[in-house]
Structure 1
Amino acid sequence: MNRTARLYALVEELRAAAPRPLTVAALATRFEVSTRTVQRDLQTLMRTGVPLRSVPGRGGGWAVDPSMTLPPIRLTVEEATALTAALALADARTPYAGAARTAAQKIVASMTRPASAAARALAGRIVAVPAPDDRPIRCTVERALDEAMALRLTYTDATGHESDRVVEPAGLLTADGRWYLIAWCRTRRAGRGFRLDRITAAALTGEPASPRDLPALLRGSAAAAAVPPAALASLAPPS
């Protein structure tokens, strides 16, 4: 059994035993490897986001939260490669890029062997020019969206003019490879779009943001015809 297959099988072994922990020695015997190898594998799984926990004391060992892991995913080779190509677009300027990476690692670890092999093979043949890393600003914007909280921005517009304003996030717009925060601007008393790579500072205000209708904020703008991406149709909440 190669290491990739063993990592996948290790998670499934812990899932099957959950919530009962398994000792490193028991896992080493099960997979016919050394305890040192099992320890190294467990550390690798933890780094990729698998929710493992160590249970100390007599009868302890390692356990996994079955509600936080994925059962085997039977994607076709075409579906696996399509997922890989889509994830390649999530660079440092893409909202939720960090979460996309850990989600991808979990999905690939749960794929059947042909799909996993296809995804990994394609991943080895895709390169990208690194984008500037604006992680602190992006993470603040993500939190404001997730927690429906007003956001204080410092923003530089297309003419180079810098302004400070408090906005109430409504959603995200993607167009021509760029991402925009669509929000109600308290200064302008109207909906506005803020290109994420032009936000130079962002801070949570702690104030709740009022619910805003995204299509209504886009009405009358150049993005008025924007529609949900077809690939997300199955994920969208029912209307």
Structure 2
Amino acid sequence: MANVTRHSLTAEELAALALSLAHLGAGPQSVTARRGLRHAFAHLDLNDDVIATTLQTLTTPLPTDVARRARAVANAITARLVVRIQYHDADGRLTVRDVEPVTCLVHGEFWYLVGWCRMRRGIRAFRFDRIVAVEPTDLPSRPHLPQRYLPFQRRARPGAASGPGSGGDFTPAVA
């Protein structure tokens, strides 16, 4: 067997892998892909509750309706198009928002769409379980660099290395 050198994945790489896995459903390829992702996380401290829960969420197939919404968002990210979402906020109010999608990610037990909300004029993370509908539009989205907008990246302590497994705390990024 060949020697394999392990490298830590960046937050952007993890987000892209997570979004790709969302499309696979529960078929045979998804089982292999999710097992590979577990191996990619082998270096992480799974005693950290956030990391352990996130890994469990990443490696569990999405419900069909959520996977369908994730596919629509992924297509919009690739095509750099705005999506119109119907979204229940934390208080249960339904809003319709035009969002320039940047990426999708998992944090803890939830999947998120991260994007520039035109209604709020700022970057927002939308929980997929609160998104009722995703409608593609023909409106062009401005290019956004995902690494600037990932809200749940590990933040290094002063003098410490940054990145997953570095011991920093997960905190929302402020755009």
Q: Any unmatched runs of 5+ in structure 2?
A: 4-16, 34-58, 156-161, 166-175
Tell whether 2:96 aligns with 1:169: no
Give the letter for the 1:147 counterpart: A
Identity across aligned pairs (percent)? 32
TM-score when scaled to structure 1?
0.41
Cα 1:141/1:75, change in 2 over 3 Å: farther
Q: Which residue of 2 aligns with 1:97?
A: 24
List structure 1 runs of 4+ shifted beyond 2 angstroms.
94-106, 128-133, 213-218, 223-230
Residue by residue over 1:178-209, the C-alpha shift from the partner in whole angstroms, topping out at 9 and shown as x without a partner, is 11111001111100001111110001102221
TM-score when scaled to structure 2?
0.53
Offset at residue 136 of structure 1 (A)? 2.7
Measure the CA separation in 1 of the matches of 2:102 and 2:28: 24
Out of 176, 179, 184, the position equivalent to 2:116 is 184
Residue by residue over 1:57-82, the C-alpha shift from the partner in whole angstroms, topping out at 9 and shown as x without a partner, is xxxxxxxxxxxxxxxxx679xxxxxx
Measure the CA separation in 2 of the matches of 1:199 and 1:153: 7
Tell whether 2:134 aligns with 1:198: no
Cα 1:75/1:150, change in 2 over 3 Å: farther
Bigger relative contact order (CA 8 A; separation at least 6): 2
Measure the CA separation in 1 of the matches of 2:111 and 2:164: 14
Measure the CA separation in 2 of the matches of 1:225 and 1:167: 25
Measure the CA separation in 2 of the matches of 1:174 and 1:168: 18
Asked if the contact 1:151/1:202 (under 8 Å) is kept, the reply is yes
Measure the CA separation in 1 of the matches of 2:99 and 2:118: 6
Q: Secondary structure at the match of 2:25?
A: helix
Q: Any unmatched runs of 5+ in structure 1?
A: 1-73, 77-89, 107-127, 231-239
Q: Which residue of 2 aligns with 1:156?
A: 88
Q: Which residue of 1 aligns with 2:143?
A: 211
Asked if the contact 2:87/2:131 (under 8 Å) is kept, the reply is yes
Q: Higher Cα Rg: structure 1 or 2?
A: 1
Cα 1:103/1:133, change in 2 over 3 Å: closer
Alpha-carbon RMSD across the aligned residues, in angstroms, is 3.8
Cα 1:185/1:131, change in 2 over 3 Å: closer
Measure the CA separation in 2 of the matches of 1:189 and 1:211: 15
